Chains A and B, each alone.
Chain A
Amino acid sequence: MNKVAIIGVGHTKFGKLEDKNLLDLLCDASLQAIENSNTNDKDFDAVYVSCMLAETLNHMTAIASAVVDRIGLIPAAADHVKNGPASGGSAIKNAFYSITSGACDMVLVVGAEKMTHITTPGLITSAVATLTHHNAERVHGVSLPSLAGMLTRTYMEKYNVPKEWITSIAVKNHKNGMNNPYAHFQKEITLEKALASPIIADPLRLYDICPISDGGAAMVLCSAEIAKKFCDTPILITGVGQATDTHIVYEREDLTVLKALQICSKQAYSMAKKTPEDIDVCEAHDAFTILEAIQSEDLGFFKKGEGAKAAYEGLTEIGGVIPINPSGGLKARGHPLGATGVAQVVELVWQLRGEAGKRQIEGAETGITCNFGGFGNNILSILVERM
């Protein structure tokens, strides 16, 4: 199996970007990654483009074909990868195996979403809710925030957890986002303000939920053998895992267990021959604060029921035992759906190269992600380390 290296990354500003359409975001991030990887004059074998709602929100199909044409990568193979908000993770997985198999040497992954131009109330909530189970959940008006609200209530009740422990995750992620120039929000929030923000899906409040964002992120991957020709500090992808769980959330034995994450992170750890103790930095999928708490448990960092407490006690801050979401996470960096899984790995690359500026985790050598493609029913985990 050929080893896979990331030799360049790109990341647009996330937020409300009025003068950029979907294709602009995809191409801007791609060209940054190509420039960053010193592959300006190189041919690429394949391009994987991740975007969740191109058709619904942007009336565009065949976006992978459009990207290679616009950025001059014809005749590279080009695919549009869709796996809900884990489209980015899935695109990276496809690129990874295209290189490990020996089929490709030079591959571009780019993810983006353009969302903030939609003004119809409820339309984005509704478009995202199409990923829930149609007959069991969606007909009843179940949306992602409502599933997260119910999960928060169950977790608080089962483990006797006060709400402020969970909401402290949003405060921590906003603090980290302050030092990320690409983040949607570069603004600190207080726990008091977060706990008093409007209720969206009781007990979940506005500040427990990630924003709707525009943005793109990209990376250039190549076989590790040739990586040093282009870059002094290639970052290796050494573990990739993906697993599914019941589409109907209540058909799981225990709502508070993300079995798919336990399985896919174990796959990633074992492929890389690492354990949770080896991880220096993690980028989690905090679309809702409760998810980061539970993910930190099922990734193996904390015991069940102790993730929210650990966050409240500062163990997941930069400088803590396992920093989670130094980028600001989905909460502060923003959540352009198709870009998120790519942006998570881009942040880890910056951290492992020592290029993360004021949010740098000293000496970080190994990182892992958790990228959600549904409500816990399709999850990817990607493990990276310094070469």
Chain B
Amino acid sequence: MSETTIVWKKCKKCRKLQHPDHLRCIQCKNTTFDTVKSSGDCKLLTYTILNAPPSEYRDKKSYTIGVVEYSNGLKAIGQIISSENLKIGMKLTSKFQKLTENLDGKEIFGITFKPT
């Protein structure tokens, strides 16, 4: 998987954008989708700085989680690589990368956001 693009699904029938995990459209039950790649640029909808990490993230004292929206209307959740000067509506850029290792030592990948 590429370092920067994140792949989503768009329903061929009702055009609803959604997470790739959905096997049938979350809105109309259709099973055929187009692939949509999100661009890196997005804006921050909401965030939190978490000071009580679950055990997969036991090596960190705290980290920031945010929900963003891309220009095509797609939303995503991920980790923000900063906890300072965050503001709802600010511009971020996103990336797909290794986040941590689970309790069995397996690498976990996910989305990160960085202020532009």
Q: Do A and B bind each other?
A: yes
Q: A: which residues have CB within 8 A of B?
A: 120-123, 125-126, 129, 133, 135-137, 139-143, 145-146, 149-151, 153-154, 157, 198-204, 246, 248-251, 255
In whole angstroms, what is the CA distance A154 to B21 when docked?
Answer: 26
A251 engages B110 (CB within 8 Å) = no
A153 engages B48 (CB within 8 Å) = yes
Instruction: Tell yes or no: B77 within 8 A of A by CB.
Output: yes
Contacts of B76 in A (CB 8 A): 136, 250
Min CB gap A68→B, angstroms: 35
In whole angstroms, what is the CA distance A250 to B53 when docked?
Answer: 20
Over the window 38-73 of chain B, the binary record of Cβ atoms lying under 8 Å from chain A Cβ atoms (1 yes, 0 no) is 000000011111111111111000010111000000
Instruction: Tell yes or no: B100 within 8 A of A by CB.
Output: yes
A199 engages B49 (CB within 8 Å) = yes
Contacts of A150 in B (CB 8 A): 46-48, 65-67
A122 engages B53 (CB within 8 Å) = yes
A121 engages B46 (CB within 8 Å) = no
Instruction: Tell yes or no: B114 within 8 A of A by CB.
Output: no
Min CB gap A146→B, angstroms: 5
In whole angstroms, what is the CA distance A129 to B50 when docked?
Answer: 13
Min CB gap B28→A, angstroms: 14
Given contacts A141-B100, A153-B88, contact A248 B19 (CB under 8 A): yes
A142 engages B108 (CB within 8 Å) = no
**Partner of B47 from A129, A145, A153 at Cβ < 8 Å:** A153
Q: Which of A121, A141, A246, A255 has the most CB of B within 10 A?
A: A141
Over the window 1-29 of chain B, the binary record of Cβ atoms lying under 8 Å from chain A Cβ atoms (1 yes, 0 no) is 00000000000000000110100001000
**Partner of B50 from A149, A153, A248 at Cβ < 8 Å:** A149
Min CB gap B10→A, angstroms: 14
In whole angstroms, what is the CA distance A141 to B67 when docked?
Answer: 13
In whole angstroms, what is the CA distance A135 to B1 when docked?
Answer: 15
In whole angstroms, what is the CA distance A122 to B103 when docked?
Answer: 12
In whole angstroms, what is the CA distance A202 to B21 when docked?
Answer: 29
Q: Which of B21, B45, B46, B66 has the most CB of A within 10 A?
A: B46
**Partner of B55 from A120, A137, A139, A151 at Cβ < 8 Å:** A120
A143 engages B50 (CB within 8 Å) = yes
Contacts of B21 in A (CB 8 A): 133, 135-136, 248
The DSSP consensus for interface residues of chain B is strand
Interface size class of B (residues with CB under 8 A): 20 to 34
In whole angstroms, what is the CA distance A29 to B63 when docked?
Answer: 40
Contacts of B108 in A (CB 8 A): 139
Min CB gap B95→A, angstroms: 13
**Partner of A251 from B19, B50, B52, B55 at Cβ < 8 Å:** B19
In whole angstroms, what is the CA distance A196 to B14 when docked?
Answer: 48
Contacts of A202 in B (CB 8 A): 48-51
Contacts of A151 in B (CB 8 A): 46
A201 engages B51 (CB within 8 Å) = yes
**Partner of A122 from B46, B47, B52 at Cβ < 8 Å:** B52
Q: Which of B54, B56, B88 has the most CB of A within 10 A?
A: B54
A140 engages B56 (CB within 8 Å) = no
Pairs of residues from A and B, 7 with the lowest C-beta to C-beta distance, nearest first: A149-B48, A126-B54, A122-B55, A126-B55, A202-B49, A150-B46, A154-B46
Contacts of B45 in A (CB 8 A): 154, 250
Contacts of B19 in A (CB 8 A): 133, 135-136, 248, 251
Min CB gap A209→B, angstroms: 9
Min CB gap A319→B, angstroms: 35
In whole angstroms, what is the CA distance A126 to B63 when docked?
Answer: 15
In whole angstroms, what is the CA distance A146 to B54 when docked?
Answer: 10
Min CB gap B38→A, angstroms: 13
Given contacts A157-B88, A246-B26, contact A140 B48 (CB under 8 A): no
Instruction: Tell yes or no: B78 within 8 A of A by CB.
Output: yes
In whole angstroms, what is the CA distance A169 to B44 when docked?
Answer: 28
In whole angstroms, what is the CA distance A201 to B52 when docked?
Answer: 7
A145 nearest CB neighbor, chain B only: B52
Contacts of B55 in A (CB 8 A): 120-123, 125-126
In whole angstroms, what is the CA distance A203 to B47 when docked?
Answer: 9
A141 engages B52 (CB within 8 Å) = no
